[in-house]
Amino acid sequence: MRHACLLVAVFVSACGWAQENTVHLTVLGYQWTTTHKTLTFSWPGSANTSCSGSANMNGYISPGGNISASGTSSDTCSTTYTPPTTQNIDIQKPVVFILADTENSRMVLTCTRNVRWSQCHALNPGPFLARNDKGHFEVQALTGKSKEEWIKFDVVQQTAISRQQPQTAPAQEAATSIEAPKSETAGSNAGFPTRWKSMTSGTIRTLRFEGEYIYGETVLPETAAKAGVFFLMDVKKDGEKYVGKINGHIVSQDGSKSCSISSPIELTLVTPERIEGRGLIPPTNAKTDWNACTFTPPADWQAFTWSPVR
């Protein structure tokens, strides 16, 4: 339950579990490398002893009927000894790293060819379809048998990116209450604060306002960030509100399991002094199924409010 509560705390600014969606992925390039792991095998020594012998007997009977005998014998033994043995074996595994873009994020994907018949392989630059399936990031690609299959990858890094918007004539009508000003230069927040705090959970996130888009990243504890946890938001103006997603990666407390997640989010009010909206968030008593990457009870829509950090 602790993990689900952490999700709600980090996410009431909008972290929840969404239904699976297919997205367009553009592969920019790939790079192969090799991991090395030395395994040391040891086994005990042994000793083997073998012996052989022979005997020679002679008997005599005297005229008086007395019997006498004499003989000789010999034996030899030999021992062979095999000392304890140690052997080091270098295990090498090919690993591929792929740089790719979705509409609003750039990510580094990776997989490892653990066995010769592994599905892991590089993706040539170009367009692909991708999806989140039960916590795994998958890309549809042609295999060596010219058959389309979903290949599993781990997302090792993901950052929000912005697409330059075409220049348009300014609107003649007055802006609505949620209209974010157009930024004059890349990365400019045009008067909007950069850091915002959730009044529901206390979570801090950084926001970047770019034309019709708003990009956000949750500020996490150092230990969580080093473990690979992240939450990235990207929303686009849609009528009277901003609509988009939060994509993230969560890791179990012991670090043995992880899930990739995606959640819808809506911002219904955006001003320099206040942001209001709602997100699909698991309830505070939800438990995380790390095998299926689901929550019980499931996520539901919850409202939130953010205020600027001065």
What pLDDT, on the 0 to 100 scale, is given for residue 144? 59
User: Smallest Cα–Cα separation from 94: which of 149, 45, 36?
Assistant: 36
Q: Which 8-state DSSP code applies to residue 163?
A: P
- Per-residue pLDDT at 3: 46
**Residue stretches of the chain with pLDDT short of 70:** 1-21, 135, 143-146, 162-190
Outline which parts of the chain fall under CATH 2.40.128.
2-18+176-308
What is the reported pLDDT for 188?
Answer: 52
Q: Which CATH code fits 2-18+176-308?
A: 2.40.128
* pLDDT of the residue at 149: 83
Q: What's the burial of 260, exposed, middle or buried (CB within 10 Å: 0-12/13-18/19+)? A: buried
Are the C-beta atoms of residues 258 and 245 closer than 8 Å to each other? no
Query: What pLDDT score was predicted for residue 277?
Result: 94
200 exposed, middle or buried (CB, 10 Å; 0-12, 13-18, 19+)?
A: middle
* pTM of this structure: 0.46
* Pairwise CA distance, residues 10 & 248, whole Å: 11
Tokens (6 digits) for 218: 């949750």
Q: Which of 263, 302, 310 is nearest to 284 (CA)?
A: 302
Structure-token match 């993230």, residue found:
248
Identify the pLDDT of residue 143. 65
